Amino acid sequence: MKLLITIVQDQDVPKLLEKLTEKNIGATKLASTGGFLRVGNTTVLIGVDDEKVDGVLEIIKETCEKRDQFHAAPVSPFGRGGVLPRPTKVVVGGATVFIVEIERFEKI
């Protein structure tokens, strides 16, 4: 069994959860925040048998989009005479997935 720790953009969550539920795949949604942009994203925990991992990755690919976001570096109080940093574009998503081996799984 594997646990897919899946970080996605909030906008993609309803569709992702709908598709997983259609296939009877259990998921847990957690609110999270990206360390770089410091904006909210969603972490979805998905526990599945090994043979279902590729199918779940397909669903994630189908439902999670790449999007452009802008990153403005924090303004330093010791900054250079009021010059504001230019926001830089970063491409976020589709999804960041960590696939972890599950040693034991119990539902009690």
Binding to ligand 2BA by residue 34, rule CB under 6 A? yes
Helix (H, G, I), strand (E, B) or coil at 18: helix
Alpha carbon distance 98, 38 (integer Å): 20
Q: Which residue has the tokens 């972890």?
A: 100
Binding ligand 2BA by CB under 6 A: which of 20, 25, 27, 41?
41
Sheet holding 95-101, edge to edge: 27-33, 40-48, 2-8, 95-101
Binding ligand 2BA by CB under 6 A: which of 1, 13, 57, 93?
93
Binding ligand 2BA by CB under 6 A: which of 37, 45, 53, 99?
37
Give me the residue whose beta carbon is nearest to ligand 2BA. 34
Binding residues (CB under 6 A) for ligand 2BA: these are 7, 34-37, 41, 90-93, 96
